[in-house]
């Protein structure tokens, strides 16, 4: 079969639309015709980081579409179903069996390496393998192959351009609040970096009724979005060192109960920990530099917790329908954050989100 896909030929290169060959689905696979796909920060950072030998490659991991074909072993997913595609997990290791599918022992192989577990690729060009299977989908393509663990059937009435970001970005931010922090009405939450992931966290905290919510970002336009969910905004641009910490402590009466960092900037993470209340928790959802510098005395004597969080500690098979139900009911309104682009405008979407002109680009076919 043929599919039109956005390929990246090498590290740091732009997306280029080409025609590729895609496999028929195997007995345990699902073929999805993509109707919309979110552009996530992970797509952009990983294409800069991977070595040249892992290209050419097709990215995309927030696909939403309609099931085109299913393998003979597939149950619960049928041709014509509307679906959202998310990250893969083996569902067999101890971590998966105990609810931690985001921490699956096979995460790297299933989501990042570019091929199936048997070493084969789903995509080819002129007989040569093209790395695909990014997050088990590579959905910057008209057709994508997924699996029962990462293809989530949704209501047929849901707008797929709205549903797509729930496959990763919105799920990560909202899940970090609902699953990991679980705020109560007397709590306080600070979200550092309110792009798509951070704003989903702010919106989820508002939906949960989690007390004081503070958004920290250098872009006033994003703080305006956060204010719509009831958050108090802090723009650290031009402020002296320590001013953000002081302001957070003032607004929360001594320190935040919890915080989420989406920036992956070590200096921001350090100040986020300092601004926590005793026994407060910082949840880190962004990945950047490999080393952090924290005040060990503050950390120990105040019983503070710093922990990582993958995909909002979510199981997409249950979390995505839950979040979409909240979206449909009006409890979690994230559709205003989305700006749609034609699929062939992918590089324009990349430029716009990098410039901070849009929050969440979604490519539509």
Closest CA relative to residue 230, chosen from 215, 251, 216: 215
SS3 assignment, position 204: helix
DSSP-assigned letters across all residues of 162-188: HHGGGGTHHHHHHHIIIIII---TT-E
Along the 365 residues of the chain, how does pLDDT read in single tens digits?
999 999 999 999 999 999 999 999 999 999 999 999 999 999 999 999 999 999 999 999 999 999 999 999 999 999 999 999 999 999 999 999 999 999 999 999 999 999 999 999 999 999 999 999 999 999 999 999 999 999 999 999 999 999 999 999 999 999 999 999 999 988 999 999 999 999 999 999 999 997 999 999 999 999 999 999 999 999 999 899 899 999 999 999 999 999 999 999 999 999 999 999 999 999 999 888 888 999 999 999 999 999 999 999 999 999 999 999 999 999 999 999 999 999 999 999 999 999 999 999 999 99
From the CA atom positions of the chain, what is the Rg in Å?
Answer: 20
CA–CA gap between residue 173 and residue 196 (Å, rounded): 8
Position 241 scores a pLDDT of: 85
The pLDDT value recorded for residue 8 is 98
Domains of the chain (ranges; CATH) run 2-153+334-364 (3.90.180.10), 170-312 (3.40.50.720)
Secondary-structure breakdown of the chain: helix, strand, coil percentages, each rounded to the nearest 5: 35, 25, 40
How far apart CA 27 and CA 25 sit, in angstroms, is: 7
- Give me the pLDDT at residue 43, please: 96
């Amino acid at each position: 079969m043929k599919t039109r896909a956005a390929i990246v030929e090498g590290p740091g290169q732009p997306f280029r639309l080409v025609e590729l060959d895609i496999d028929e689905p195997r007995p345990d696979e699902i073929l999805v015709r993509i109707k919309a796909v979110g552009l996530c920060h992970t797509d952009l950072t990983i294409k800069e980081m991977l070595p040249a030998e892992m290209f050419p490659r097709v990215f995309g991991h927030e696909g939403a579409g309609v099931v085109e074909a299913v393998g003979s072993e597939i149950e619960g997913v049928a041709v014509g179903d509307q679906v959202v595609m998310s990250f893969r997990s083996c569902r067999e290791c101890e971590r998966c069996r105990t609810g931690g599918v985001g921490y699956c022992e096979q995460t790297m192989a299933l989501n990042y390496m570019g091929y199936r577990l048997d070493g084969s690729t789903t995509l080819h060009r002129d007989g040569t393998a093209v790395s695909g299977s990014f997050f088990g989908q590579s959905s910057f393509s008209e057709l994508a192959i997924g699996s029962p663990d990462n293809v989530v059937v949704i209501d047929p009435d849901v707008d797929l351009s709205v549903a797509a970001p729930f496959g990763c970005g919105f799920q990560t931010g909202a899940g970090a609040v609902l699953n990991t922090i679980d705020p109560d009405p007397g709590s306080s939450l600070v979200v550092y970096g309110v792009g798509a992931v951070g704003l989903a966290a702010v919106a989820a905290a508002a939906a949960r009724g989690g007390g004081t919510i503070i958004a920290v970002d250098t872009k006033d336009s994003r703080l305006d979005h956060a204010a719509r969910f009831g958050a108090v905004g802090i723009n650290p641009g031009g402020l002296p060192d320590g001013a953000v910490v002081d302001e957070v402590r003032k607004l929360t009466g001594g320190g935040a109960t919890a915080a989420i960092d989406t920036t992956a900037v070590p200096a921001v993470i350090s100040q986020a920990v300092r601004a926590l209340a005793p026994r407060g928790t910082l949840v880190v959802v962004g990945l950047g530099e490999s080393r952090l510098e924290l005040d060990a005395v503050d950390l120990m004597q105040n019983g503070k917790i710093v922990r990582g969080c993958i995909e909002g500690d979510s199981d997409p098979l249950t979390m995505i329908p839950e979040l979409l139900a909240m979206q449909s009911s009006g409890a979690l309104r994230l559709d205003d954050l989305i700006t749609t682009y034609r699929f062939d405008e992918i590089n324009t979407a990349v430029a716009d989100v990098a410039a901070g002109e849009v929050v969440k680009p979604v490519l539509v076919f």
